[in-house]
Chain A
């Protein structure tokens, strides 16, 4: 008789896997990816493609030559996500060499320095973006107008909705806001309607929301982080708009810039967000609050990525103090 296998319980597994979750996120990113091709054409394809390939290459090279691990992790999907998100956070006319530097910082500094997937304190894609934003501020803050499908670095640049909002605040003139595209156009993404410019992944709210619905349906993420971020921004931006019309209306604030992209795909990164529902809500509310503070009072027009990075740093602290409700502590009903 063959030998019997002996191990401790449980002997069953739900067949969930790291890959299933990671590729689920990639599937959720596909609508936004398709929309970005329709908007920025060649530019989007070059930027996202370079970013993904560079991220995969750096993860493979670092695992093999620096960490000398036998098992390669490039197929777990996480480097692909970092690559897509890094690309989504760039203007579509960014030169290839800058993209490669961004990928090196994202994967090399942001992820592998700490030991790879699961150990990084900050969202790798955002580490890459923040590095590029402070190193190459000119290239990172000129965005091509949407709709120039055949152009790459030669595309004509234009003002983003966030820049228009910043102008209104600086000039104190609410009429500047009339230049903003229609909120419905921002939501559905409509290059013909004079949408203006922006990073590759942030131009179509509907595509991002579609991704959110998919991830909630597949139970890849829970609602707590996206809803608390968007809710907080809506409330604070709404109050500021009511108090002073130089601040844009809350719907436009939510649909502009990287807010939806960040709330749905970047702040929900497993590794760098809190573990309990309560912690996730605190984290989301703080990100929403910081985003508005940076957007309205800081020197950068966009605050989402910095807000997420700041709250990534607080995640261990939130985990220490936000415990799940233990069984037996629930009040009698």
Chain B
């Protein structure tokens, strides 16, 4: 099997895909669902329910708060207990809707049958109609970034989409949610890809799958026989292949230029397999995004597994369903060990971007003492963006933001390959992250200042003209 991969850097973390062959179960409903209003990149959604309102699964509870935003739907049926603050995966307290669960009633508009709807049977679905349904049902990128999908499906007029690239890579260690979804819903995912291709008006689609999932590659190779425009691209296992830019490079051999360029600037619209599935359900079944596949895993966990989970289910409940927190010092991650966020409490709810709850125990949970940099340059070889992590980390520690910007710190994708590979255990990404955020702030402030100056000059000119 000929495999492809991205061209710069990369590392090979231990896979630890313990739950790969554990069939997905439906998680029990929570007693109370905590549904945060900010589950996506962009403006938080605005609540449209109040205490005492009755809701069903699929009822709109918050509308999009701006252009870059997404509506949020109730995942359970019951009564709104309150609209209050709750700690989310970022560790901050943010507004959320609390719903006391009663029974499990769904909105009648949702098609709950298992019948596979084919896009070819629905000529009424124009690209505009598809984008509208995706937007209305609150679909966001399911790979973790949670960018509203409808915006990705309407590329700026300066860029032209040529391909839809589906991310079935799942390069993060431990996580198997996408893999289980691919094994259990291949037909729906492929219909989802067809829908996405129609939405962005392209006739070529690729599904990138890493070669550590040979069963998924085989299954999709069989299924794409009925989808002549879609091709499976086997990829050589390497982290961070699931990064958007790395995936585009691996699949179509084009490199997205430095920010603010995005993949569609080189012709690629990248979507996760989970997003393709959510798009299928939104467009064909009119089902809003309110449940998702979540892997609950950890080496010391008694019964790790994969679950279909309603948004708003506290992680504590999932962990208890898997045998409870292991003895010892634990680190609980929303996501995998490379890019996941460590949680301060187990009461954090599952949201649209939660692909995994990963529990690291004892030594796995702790960092080692850092030593002085020995200038071995392993971070330079590992960086998938061609940056010099040792330099960026030092510059950031010395607050030399100007040089940080010159050395392209904003290109950093925060994949953690540098810190993973560092023999001196240096906290490279901690420093780089601080530097990147500061430099991005400086760039935004500069742009705002320039815009303000331009506006002032225009007003002055207009006054002079009078």
Contacts and interface: CB of A to CB of B under 8 A. Distances in A.
Contact of B338 (A10, A76, A222, A327): A10
Label chain A's interface by main secondary structure: loop
A331 B341 CA distance: 35
B258 A7 contact: no
Given A323-B388, A325-B8, A330-B255, A5 B365 contact: yes
A274 B380 CA distance: 11
Nearest to A320: B391
Nearest to B422: A16
A4 B331 contact: yes
Contacts of A171: none
B388 A327 contact: no
Given A4-B345, A276-B380, A17 B374 contact: no
B372 A10 contact: no
Interface in B333-380: 333, 335, 337-346, 360, 364-368, 371-378, 380
A9 interface: yes
A119 B14 CA distance: 32
B331 A270 contact: no
Contacts of B13: 12, 14
Interface residues of A, number: 44
B245 A12 contact: no
A21 B424 CA distance: 10
A281 to B, nearest CB: 13
Contact of A5 (B253, B330, B335, B385): B330
Interface string B221-250: 000000000000000000000000100010
A329 B416 CA distance: 22
Contacts of A272: 375
Interface string B1-35: 00000011001111000000000000000000000
Nearest to B416: A10
B329 interface: yes
A68 interface: no
Contact of B11 (A14, A116, A118): A14
Nearest to A271: B375
B343 A18 contact: no
Interface in A27-79: 76, 78
Interface residues of B, number: 75
Contacts of B249: 327
A326 B411 contact: yes
A69 to B, nearest CB: 11
A20 B425 CA distance: 12
B325 interface: yes
A328 interface: yes
Nearest to B380: A275
B333 A21 contact: no
Contacts of B427: 8
Interface in B381-396: 381, 383-388, 390
B430 interface: yes
A325 to B, nearest CB: 5
B7 A330 contact: yes
A2 B374 contact: no
B386 A16 contact: no
Contacts of A323: 388
A156 to B, nearest CB: 42
Contacts of A1: 325, 346
What 9 pairs between A and B have smallest CB-CB spacing? A10-B416, A12-B337, A118-B372, A328-B257, A275-B377, A326-B386, A16-B423, A11-B337, A5-B331
Given A12-B337, A12-B364, A14-B420, 14 more contacts: A4-B346, A5-B342, A5-B365, A5-B366, A6-B343, A9-B339, A9-B416, A10-B415, A115-B372, A119-B372, A270-B375, A327-B384, A328-B245, A328-B261
15 contacts: A2-B328, A4-B342, A5-B330, A6-B342, A9-B335, A11-B340, A12-B364, A14-B13, A16-B421, A117-B372, A271-B375, A324-B387, A328-B411, A329-B257, A333-B253
Interface of A: 1-14, 16-18, 20-21, 76, 78, 115-119, 222, 270-276, 323-330, 332-333
